Structure 1
Amino acid sequence: MIKVLLADDQALVRAGFKALLDAQPDMTVVAEASDGAQAVRLAAEHRPDVVLMDIRMPGTDGLTATRQMPPGPHIIILTTFELDEYVFEALRGGASGFLVKDTEPAELIQAVRVVAAGEALLSPSVTRRLIAEYASRAKEPVIADGLDQLTDREREVLALVGTGMTNDEIAAKLFMSPATAKTHVSRAMMKLHARDRAQLVVIAYESGLVKPGWL
């Protein structure tokens, strides 16, 4: 059973999500929060698998709450605009991906399942657009902890993850099997202490392995 925490300041929005998710045989909404601070407290108490986090809430917003989340839950950011100015910051802060609020119900359900399984909710096209959109806001490249532990091949794979490539695309480009590509990605995640693929994208970009001009 996938345990979900809802964080949104609009009660009607929460009610809609709760009705949809509780109707699924493999999901249950374990708690609801109306602001970020409450979401952090409830996450520590209920230990959800997935948090649906509205980015704009009064008091403690979703961005701050994402950074303060206890280890464990995977966070899906809910936003009104696909290229919300806070989305990249949320990914940097530990979110696994994002959805626009007018997402079709079936897509929302699938997204919760994908993130609960430990995958990142970032399509290659969205990854490329996000990085390109906020490239000018980035600081100087920062060497991530563990980057020096990567093999040359793992660095190469990490850079391709950062450009938004899937495992199959990486495999084709580097003439390896998809399973081998997946193994390299998993090892990079472990060495870099990345929560999921979304975190690898941020690390690849911020460490300078990926540059906006490559996109």
Structure 2
Amino acid sequence: MSQSIRVVLVDDDPLVRAGLGMILGGAPDIEVVGEAADGVEAVTVVAAAQPDVVLMDLRMPGRDGLEATRQVVAAQASSARLSPTRVIVLTTFDTDDMVVGALRAGASGFLLKDTPPPRIVAAIRSVAAGEPILSPTVTAQLIASVTSGGSDRSVAARSALDSLTERERDVAVAIGRGWSNAEIAAELYLGIPTVKTHVSRLLTKLGAENRVQIALIVHDAGRG
């Protein structure tokens, strides 16, 4: 990207924000343009700063990160910006069942709070470029741990997958496994441009905001 990636940090712990600021300050292509200590402040700061990426803590007093993520994503849906603000949720994972709610709300992925600094920087660059963070093992474990039950959602997900062509279902299932476009292309003997076309069609047909939400639908349908 030719311009700096603009980032807003949201966490109720000032030490966490300071640490993230130091990490990102060492990246020449990333600029921290705002901070917030809770969900209410986050929505206001994001609206004013118009960042490319928000690092959003989930567990905060007052309005939590889940509701703030919903509001940020909803605001982007009605915005005329060509490059929308994307949200990465911050979590401890082992205890935070709110992550899947954030993904359903439109977050582009998640980071563990103990993620090594180089991976945090890489994740921000990926999400800013429109590539959600999908780790095959961690995503599958996360989804499996918090999406049990919900029969109505399962029926809806199976119906959605049934509306796809066979090849589109193959691509959707591969996304559910956390595969990259290159991995899908190699496994299904397709060109990468063809895979990208299928992904775009899936987003439209499934009413999904990103690949993470496609993966959630696949897992709800029992196909992951």
**TM-score, reference length from structure 2:** 0.83
CA distance in 2, matches of 1:158, 1:193: 13
Q: Would the aligned equivalents of 1:124 and 1:166 in 2 still touch at CA under 8 Å?
A: no
CA distance in 1, matches of 2:195, 2:95: 29
1:195 to 205, 209, 223: 209
Deviations along 1:174-193, one digit per CA (max 9) or x if unpaired, are 22233322321122224444
Alpha-carbon offset, residue 165 of structure 1 = 2.7
Q: Would the aligned equivalents of 1:145 and 1:192 in 2 still touch at CA under 8 Å?
A: no
CA distance in 1, matches of 2:177, 2:22: 37
| Equivalence for 2:29 | 26
1:169 to 164, 173, 183: 183
AA partner of residue 187 (structure 2): K
CA distance in 1, matches of 2:151, 2:68: 23
Which residues of structure 1 form unaligned runs of 5+? none
Deviations along 1:27-84, one digit per CA (max 9) or x if unpaired, are 1111110001111111111111100001110000111111111212111111123562
CA distance in 1, matches of 2:62, 2:99: 18
Alpha-carbon offset, residue 103 of structure 1 = 1.1
Alpha-carbon offset, residue 144 of structure 1 = 9.6
2:7 to 4, 17, 20: 4
SS of equivalent residue, structure 2 residue 208: coil
Counterpart check, 1:52 vs 2:55: yes
Kindly report structure 1 stretches of 4+ aligned residues shifted beyond 6 Å: 144-149
**Which region of structure 1 is more displaced relative to structure 2, 141-150 or 69-78?**
141-150
- Percent identical across equivalent pairs? 50
Counterpart check, 1:126 vs 2:138: yes
RMSD, matched Cα: 2.4
CA distance in 2, matches of 1:128, 1:138: 17
Which residues of structure 2 form unaligned runs of 5+? 77-83
| Equivalence for 1:183 | 197
Q: Would the aligned equivalents of 2:185 and 2:195 in 1 still touch at CA under 8 Å?
A: yes
How many residue pairs get matched?
A: 210
1:157 to 160, 171, 175: 171
1:145–1:63 distance in 2 versus 1, CA, 3 Å: farther
**TM-score, reference length from structure 1:** 0.86
